[in-house]
Structure 1
Amino acid sequence: MPKLWTPSRRHFLGYSAAALGIGLVTRPSFAQSTPQHGGTLVVSQSNDPVALSGIAHTGVSGEASKALEGLLSYDFDLNPVPQLATDWSVSADGLTYTFKLRPGVKWHDGQPFTSADVAFSLNAIKEVHPRGRVTFAPLTEVQTPDEHTAVLKLSRVAPYLLTAFAAVETPIVPKHLYEGTNVAENPHNNAPVGTGPWVFKEWVRGSHVRYERNPDYWDAPKPYFDALIYQVIPDAAARSIAFETGEVHIGGGANVPIPVSDLARFEALEHIGFDRRGQGYINGVQRIEFNLEVPFFQDQRVRQAFAHTIDKSVIHQTVNFGYGSVIPGPIADTLTKFYEPGLKTYAIDTGKAESLLDAAGFPRGADGIRHRLTLDPLGGSDHHKRGSEYIKQALAGIGVEVSLRTQDFPTYIKRVYTDRDFEFSYHGMSNLFDPTVGVQRLYWSKNFKPGIPFTNGSKYESAAADGYLEAAAIEQDPAKRRQFFTDFQNQVIEDLPDINTVSTVAATVYNKRVVDHTTGALGLAGNFADAHFVS
């Protein structure tokens, strides 16, 4: 086993790419010669994963798509391409989806993959997956007329559904290892047995996850690396050092793996490349989420005061160094089919904010403090921590004293979604490939599910917002569907269960020895079957 990375020194550099006029460059990585087998790919990871299978979790990352596969993958334009399904069709009425499955595929334990595995997995995801409850709500039955055919029957149309079958979102798991168990607690969620190019070997928590090459992969001679290691490096500056020294080879995707302040300097490094492709399945946003079970935040005037105080442009320019974009509502500008730039905004006006807090019954005390709060940044994220420091500073100007509580990722998830022991948080969320899948889960009143991460954490309840979301989920006319989402965004901006600040600073950072790592919209959540080293 190769030597794993351990930190030896740390440093921070403060160059601003925006100030220098340097943009994040896309350097496509396609091999010019026949791929050769060999080597170990080391992937930078800021935190331990929540799980190694997305069958019951949304807090998974690229690890979840290496052993397990989906029915489909997707090109850069989100067009479906074959994976475990080789062919598919949708009936004229949109209520029947038929998948022809790849023959001769075996699970890593040698058992054959069949349509029974597909039926079991989709039904389980509908029941236990936080987004699956929404995604597969119309699914009434999965028929299996033979071992290599799966037929999905829907109660209503689902215009987003054909984009939902990637491994990271809708993994297919082995029925023979899951049937009769509590799917959400099955030990194979953390030691997956799949059909994919990589066989799980070990997870040493706080250190690394290791996979090895599947010699019996159906798409031989892939994969090309001998092993794949996800190396946990919590400190962002330490991750920069590891990239510079070549001790890690690739990382990022939904978030850049190094401090944003280092991006301009990294542009000049000859052995480092950046790739902005592979974000079409993610479309991340950064957001302040209020816990509406906390009495202080139950008064809308308080939330409006915060909106008039927290300057999104400061987060964009100072915290994110000009990367990403200021956004007015819950949908990222990168999700262009549904993004609406002309939504209501709250002008920065601290005088108005103070008046709103006075009217809500929170005058300044003798010490100038109106209220004291604790803010929880998402664990392991440099820009969420730095964004929270700005939020603390901004709110101090209107008499709200904020304490920051930093913690690792698992502790943060438990605090916010299980214990409900938080007042407000600053974090990132993915819109994913369609708002019905990636956005609805965060605002739909029926998706307040304590104990399940990345759901409706604010406990937002709005009959109007629910109505817009539910109408959009079944509307087949693109213009009408977009309007439903625009109406929904206007409702959220009025109600303010959260404040969406900027679109995520997203990019893959990689050593130029690694090629063919990003082959479609999934980016680093693809399966790395094509990736290999060049000299």
Structure 2
Amino acid sequence: MRLARRSFISKTASVTGLGLLPGVAFAADSPRRGGTLSAIIQPEPVVLTAAINTAAPTGVVSGSIFDGLVDYDAALQPVPALAQSWETSADGRTITFHLRPGVLWHDGQPFTSADVKWTLENVWKTIHPRNQATFGKVETVLTPDDHTVILHLSAPSLAILSSLNSNGAQILPRHLYEGTDVLNNPYNNKPIGTGPFVFKEWNRGNYIVLERNPHYWDEGKPYLDRVIFKVIPDAAARSAALETGEAHYAVLSPVPLKDAARLAKLPSLRVTTTGYEWVSPWLFFDFNVTRPGLDNPKIRQALAHAVDKNAIAKIVWFGFGEPAISPVPSSLRAFHDSTVPRYDFDPKKAAALLDEAGLKPRADGNRLSLFIDYIPYGDDFKRTAEYLKQAFKRVGVEATVRSQDTAAYTKRVYGDRDFDIAITWFAAFADPQIGVTRAYSSASIGKNIPWTNGSGYNNPKVDQIISDVQGEADQAKRIEAFKSFQQIVMSDLPTLPLLEMKFFNVEAAALRHPPAFGDQVYGSLRDFWLDISSDPK
């Protein structure tokens, strides 16, 4: 089965002009064993298990603790990991995985097919924000022996093989989770995985320590003895840590965007843009469509016309993004629909629509007051909120920007639904079924499942499309269905796509690794090593 391939080189062309590198290979180097990698993680994860929380910081750390059934290469093709091989039946309704023998959990217990079966049935299909849809057509899971997993589907599901890595479908140890409250299991914060590094310590607010797994199945790896993820909330301090060599590695655009070009010119550092191909990130904001006023599509359309996406891309995000017209990024070429309804920047039209909706300016010039909450993942998101505040002000809408930590933000948006506008970003992944439809499915509304439907949007036609594409074996029909999906949601406008984002890494010149996997940002550090002798400092 072929997976959708993103054309990433063209998307990084504008940033390579700033001195950023699309990728770095070290084929001639011989890896050296030993050393401690100092990495930066920001913000601090809420939990350390991506099976129950798909937030980016959790995925970055847990990707070295857990393995997936597969990894994804630069072309987004699955390559063996815990599954050595797999095959799909001719009718697409049976997928068989052959697991790697001799793999151990970090507590010494054997990894078996029972772990995969239990996790699929009790986590992926029940509480995982993406996998409830991705694995929705799986009817039964058979485990004829410890190293074979057979999925029987009610209908083919072309998206499954696009979401089987350690982030997309993280496998939990059944012997530690069965019969417990999965969401509150203590091992969520002291995880036991099968990956190259073993969880050692979490000093909250300061650091997370992982140590080399001496029994890792990939013989000779990992090369590093230890990885320390440091929590550094201040953006300037993160830049300084990388510049001085206190930190070797940081992902997800870890420094202020204006600093990226400067750091890329330093001989002790490099700035790269690979490893995000699997992610396809898009920035957007949810309207709370159940709020009085925002339940009117005309008002939502008016606010959309008040937003200059080009200004957000160039000024707020310093060119590390392109204006988005649809929730399906243009990088997913087959699925993207460029003919969706658009809401071009037009403050006069915005004001006229507000007038038509009955929101005429009061004596103080204001028509409406609302709150803007932003995901607390850095200054870029805060600046986005401040820009929206100013943009709305020009059309007579008074906005108050609120900040909070990640736990409070997710509870406010996905649990209490106590917000007006919430800024966040999602990964679209290689198939819209995996990363896009979760923002519009009514099944998750108000269930406090982060990174799902925050807007409260409920459209039976859209829910039916989401259900239909899960079991459609004909990719051409899925593509047409996804284009209908985009037409509907961009007309109803429960969310406003803002940017197709461009993330980057900052790495020490002494840090070595092969060319990045397509899912490297959430992958493991098993192939990374430190060549201190090459450090120009």
TM-score, normalised relative to structure 2: 0.93
Please tell me the residue identity of whatever aligns with 2:248.
H
1:100 is paired with a residue whose SS is strand
Contact 2:44–2:205, Cα closer than 8 Å, also in 1: yes
Listed one character per residue, the Cα deviations across residues 130-184 of structure 1 (whole Å, up to 9, x for unaligned) are 1121111111111111111111111111011112110112111111111111112
Are 2:300 and 1:312 aligned? no
- 1:53 is aligned to 49
Contact 1:376–1:425, Cα closer than 8 Å, also in 2: yes
Q: 2:106 aligns with which of 103, 108, 112?
A: 108
Contact 1:44–1:233, Cα closer than 8 Å, also in 2: yes
Could you list the runs of 5+ residues in structure 2 that have no partner in the other structure? Answer: 1-12
Q: 1:56 to 1:19 in 2, by over 3 A?
A: closer
Map of 1:56-205 to 2, 5 A cutoff? 56-59=52-55, 60-124=58-122, 125-205=124-204
- 2:506 is aligned to 509
Q: 1:276 aligns with which of 253, 273, 278?
A: 273
Cα distance in 1 between the residues matched to 2:334 and 2:258: 31
Listed one character per residue, the Cα deviations across residues 301-360 of structure 1 (whole Å, up to 9, x for unaligned) are 110111111011110111111222111010122223322333321132222211221222
- 1:300 is aligned to 297
RMSD of the alignment, in Å? 1.7
Cα distance in 2 between the residues matched to 1:212 and 1:305: 53
2:149 is paired with a residue whose SS is strand
Please tell me the residue identity of whatever aligns with 1:90.
T
Cα distance in 2 between the residues matched to 1:103 and 1:21: 47
Listed one character per residue, the Cα deviations across residues 501-534 of structure 1 (whole Å, up to 9, x for unaligned) are 1111212221111111653111121111110011
2:190 is paired with a residue whose SS is coil
Are 2:29 and 1:30 aligned? no
Listed one character per residue, the Cα deviations across residues 16-42 of structure 1 (whole Å, up to 9, x for unaligned) are x97995363224132523211111112
Q: 1:407 to 1:29 in 2, by over 3 A?
A: farther
Map of 1:299-448 to 2, 5 A cutoff? 299-448=296-445
Cα distance in 2 between the residues matched to 1:518 and 1:236: 27
Cα distance in 2 between the residues matched to 1:24 and 1:484: 37
Contact 1:519–1:526, Cα closer than 8 Å, also in 2: no
Contact 2:260–2:271, Cα closer than 8 Å, also in 1: no
Cα distance in 2 between the residues matched to 1:106 and 1:21: 46
Cα distance in 2 between the residues matched to 1:449 and 1:371: 25
2:192 is paired with a residue whose SS is coil
Are 2:521 and 1:524 aligned? yes
Please tell me the residue identity of whatever aligns with 2:356.
A
Please tell me the residue identity of whatever aligns with 1:251.
A
Contact 1:516–1:530, Cα closer than 8 Å, also in 2: yes
Please tell me the residue identity of whatever aligns with 2:508.
N
Q: 1:532 to 1:31 in 2, by over 3 A?
A: farther
Q: 1:19 to 1:177 in 2, by over 3 A?
A: closer
Q: 1:90 to 1:18 in 2, by over 3 A?
A: closer
- 1:491 is aligned to 488
Please tell me the residue identity of whatever aligns with 1:46.
Q
Contact 2:134–2:470, Cα closer than 8 Å, also in 1: no
Contact 1:105–1:195, Cα closer than 8 Å, also in 2: yes
Q: 1:21 to 1:67 in 2, by over 3 A?
A: closer
Identity, in percent, stands at 41
- Quick check: 146-155 or 410-419, which moved more? 410-419
Are 2:452 and 1:455 aligned? yes
Q: 1:194 to 1:363 in 2, by over 3 A?
A: same
- 1:219 is aligned to 218
Contact 2:137–2:471, Cα closer than 8 Å, also in 1: no
Cα distance in 1 between the residues matched to 2:512 and 2:370: 47
Q: 1:482 aligns with which of 462, 476, 479?
A: 479
Shift of 1:103: 0.8
Cα distance in 2 between the residues matched to 1:288 and 1:320: 15
Contact 2:302–2:350, Cα closer than 8 Å, also in 1: yes
Cα distance in 1 between the residues matched to 2:468 and 2:20: 38
Aligned length: 517
Contact 1:320–1:505, Cα closer than 8 Å, also in 2: no
Contact 1:67–1:196, Cα closer than 8 Å, also in 2: yes
Cα distance in 2 between the residues matched to 1:334 and 1:319: 22
- 1:242 is aligned to 241
Contact 2:155–2:472, Cα closer than 8 Å, also in 1: no
- Quick check: 517-526 or 380-389, which moved more? 517-526
Runs of 4 or more off by more than 4 Å in structure 1? 17-21
2:79 is paired with a residue whose SS is strand
Shift of 1:480: 2.5
Shift of 1:467: 2.8
Cα distance in 1 between the residues matched to 2:150 and 2:100: 14
- 2:37 is aligned to 41
Please tell me the residue identity of whatever aligns with 2:51.
I
Please tell me the residue identity of whatever aligns with 1:335.
L
Please tell me the residue identity of whatever aligns with 2:215.
D
Cα distance in 2 between the residues matched to 1:23 and 1:295: 48
Please tell me the residue identity of whatever aligns with 1:220.
E
Are 2:247 and 1:256 aligned? no
1:325 is paired with a residue whose SS is strand
Contact 2:299–2:357, Cα closer than 8 Å, also in 1: yes
1:297 is paired with a residue whose SS is coil
Q: 1:20 to 1:54 in 2, by over 3 A?
A: closer
Please tell me the residue identity of whatever aligns with 1:28.
V
Shift of 1:458: 0.3
- 2:229 is aligned to 230
Contact 1:292–1:497, Cα closer than 8 Å, also in 2: yes
Are 2:530 and 1:533 aligned? yes
Q: 1:132 to 1:18 in 2, by over 3 A?
A: closer
Cα distance in 2 between the residues matched to 1:142 and 1:314: 50
Q: 1:463 to 1:19 in 2, by over 3 A?
A: closer
Cα distance in 2 between the residues matched to 1:166 and 1:95: 21
Q: 1:499 to 1:434 in 2, by over 3 A?
A: same
Contact 2:26–2:512, Cα closer than 8 Å, also in 1: yes
Cα distance in 2 between the residues matched to 1:372 and 1:72: 48
Please tell me the residue identity of whatever aligns with 1:530.
D
Contact 1:278–1:519, Cα closer than 8 Å, also in 2: yes
